[in-house]
Amino acid sequence: MVQVVKDPIDVQLGSDAYVPNVDYLGEYARAAMEGETGALCIRVVGELEGRELNLRYCAKAHATNVLSFFSELPDSLGDVAICAPVVEAEAKTQSKSVADHYAHMVVHGVLHLRGFDHGEATQATLMEEREIEILGRFGIADPYESDV
Question: Between helices 47-58 and 84-93, what is the axis angle to 10°?
Answer: 100
pLDDT, position 74: 84
Q: Which residues pair with 80 in a beta bridge?
A: 42, 68
Compute the distance between CA of residue 51 and CA of residue 59 in angstroms, rounded to an integer.
10
Q: Tens digits of per-residue pLDDT, 93-140?
A: 999 999 999 999 999 999 999 999 999 999 999 999 999 999 999 999
Compute the distance between CA of residue 119 and CA of residue 35 in angstroms, rounded to an integer.
25
Say how far residue 19 (Cα) sits from the centre of its chain. 13
Question: Between helices 98-113 and 84-93, what is the axis angle to 10°?
Answer: 120
Compute the distance between CA of residue 31 and CA of residue 69 in angstroms, rounded to an integer.
18
5: confidence class by pLDDT, cuts 50, 70, 90: very low
The rounded mean pLDDT for the chain is 92
The residue type found at 83 is C
| Cβ 109 vs Cβ 67: under 8 Å | yes
pLDDT, position 147: 53
Compute the distance between CA of residue 117 and CA of residue 123 in angstroms, rounded to an integer.
6
Instruction: Provide the whole-model pTM.
Output: 0.91
Domains with residue ranges and CATH for the chain:
3-136 (3.40.390.30)
User: Which of 94, 129, 96 lies closest to 20, judged by CA?
Assistant: 96
